[in-house]
Amino acid sequence: MEEDNYTTFSPPLWRQRRTFILDMLRQHNVLSVLDYGCGEGSVLSFLIPPTLNITRLAGLDICKDSLEEAVERCQPWPTDYEQLREYPLTIDIYQGSVDEYDKRLSGFDAIICSEVIEHLYAPVLDRILSTALGQYHPRIFIVTTPNAEYNVHFEQLNYGKSNAIFRHDDHKFEWTRQEFQTWCEKGAQQYNYDVSFHGIGLIDGKRNDTSLGHCTQACVFVRRGDSTTAMDSINNNAPHQHLKRIDFPYYNEPPLSNQEALEVIEGYIATLCQVDVEDPSSQHPPASVLEWCLDWSDLSQPSSSKDIPIKDYLQQQPTPPSDQLFTRIPQRFSLEILWDILHIRQICKTMDRLKELLTECSSAYEIDKGDLIVSKSFPVFQDDNVYSISTVSDDL
């Protein structure tokens, strides 16, 4: 049974689970993830978008047919070649059992085990925590599983009756909240982890009723102390079959000089300055594109750490043809607008680097509380001179 097929969840329950996992990975600044029991790669492929900055993924499952589908789901898309990610990403797919240690799967920041444990027979279940927490010993271990108590909301399951069934034919068990917490707390104590418990998914129309918990229950294990090495790091076993490595294309050009990088950045600033939206609280003249004029001293001068008056700055610029139109100065917009442009992130790598290039390499820019103040005028673009911002912005 797929819960979403019988009862309404908004958003769908599968999406809520994946969003929860993403939130936990972001919260703990995870850069590498092992998907334990990855199946067809539905969660694994959800971790690919470059906004997560994950550089290493791996999926492990016992079923080869499912893994072949996972390989297909995890292939780069055409847009991955058109909009190169800032950092490399490799994905390795392995066939094997989750209760067996393999040295090639050590060193991941996080292991996720989403909707897996309920499919395991008792002998495998008994060993999964000793392998995941004891041998791999990741910083974060995330487990999700059905909450059996919530089955009362699914009439066809006959929860609490002699003819009760599980949500899926392949489930070996479904735990109550107490049963799940007991299992997690025992493993956490044994392998030096802290745990927190979470609920995911409430039926539409009953979102205020948490008396039976949530449809899915989750536990997040967080490693205690400063221990960073696996407890079984000397074990050289490699029993799993490596089926596929997938390498994603990424921006790997030689670093630009400060001047070259600033020229690229200014190309985008020039485009942004064409869209001159008037701030109602501003004391500047109405939003418009001004004709070239050397005497703009009546404009309010921007606050600048370099203390260069607008008039003096403009006199340093070559005088353009008299019929050339230029953008108004000063202009102000959020620095995040620039940082959202993929090409800028590719060449700068960090926000601090972007700020350094703008403020230390040019007297035309100042940063004020997250805003960029532009004290440089740019020629009004003809259509063929405009930098394309929409095609380089990463909206994943």
The 10s digit of each residue's pLDDT in 190-248 is 999 999 999 999 999 888 899 999 999 999 999 998 665 555 556 789 999 999 999 99
CATH 1.10.10 fits 254-276+324-384, yes or no: yes
Q: Is 245 helix (H, G, I), strand (E, B) or coil?
A: strand
Average pLDDT, the chain: 85
**What is the DSSP secondary structure assignment for residue 133, as one 8-state letter?**
I
Question: Which of residues 65 and 329 earns the better pLDDT score?
Answer: 65
What is the rounded distance in angstroms from the CA atom of residue 217 to the CA atom of residue 194?
A: 17
Which residue is listed with tokens 């500047």? 284
Which of 112, 246, 131 has its CA nearest to residue 191?
Answer: 131
Tokens 């994950």 sit at which residue?
54
CA distances from 228 to 24, 58, 141, 223, 380 (A): 19, 19, 14, 9, 55
Q: What are the residues whose beta carbons fall under 8 Å from the beta carbon of 290, sequence distance 6 or more?
A: 296, 325, 326, 327, 328, 377
pTM equals: 0.74
In the chain, which residues fall in CATH 1.10.10?
254-276+324-384
H or E stretch at 374: strand 371-374
The set of residues, in sequence order, having a beta carbon less than 8 Å from that of 238 and lying 6+ positions away, is 102, 103, 104
Residue ranges in the chain assigned as alpha helix (H):
3-6, 13-27, 64-73, 78-82, 122-129, 177-191, 258-274, 310-315, 335-339, 342-348, 351-360
**Sign of the four-CA dihedral 335, 337, 340, 343:** negative
In CATH, 13-248 is 2.40.160.40: no
- For residue 215, the 8-state DSSP code is S
Structure token pair of residue 2: 């797929």
CATH 3.40.50.150 in the chain: give the residue spans.
13-248
- 275's torsion region: left (phi>0), alpha (psi -120 to 50) or beta? beta
Sheet of strand 193-200, all strands in order from the earlier edge strand to the far edge: 193-200, 216-223, 140-146, 110-114, 32-36, 56-61, 89-95, 241-248
Confidence of residue 316 (pLDDT cuts 50, 70, 90): low
pLDDT for 57 beyond 70: yes
Contact call for residues 116 and 172 (beta carbons, < 8 A): no
Tell me the pLDDT tens digit for each residue of 72-124: 999 999 999 988 998 999 999 999 999 999 999 999 999 999 999 999 999 99
Q: Which residues pair with 331 in a beta bridge?
A: 374
In whole angstroms, give the CA distance from residue 159 to residue 204.
20
Residue predicted with more confidence, 125 or 295: 125
Chain centroid to CA 192: how far? 28
| pLDDT value of position 301 | 36
Distance separating alpha carbons of residues 86 and 394, to the nearest angstrom:
11
CA dihedral 147, 54, 336, 365 (to 10 degrees): 160
Confidence of residue 21 (pLDDT cuts 50, 70, 90): very high
Determine the average pLDDT of the residues in 48-64. 94
Residue 385: predicted pLDDT? 52
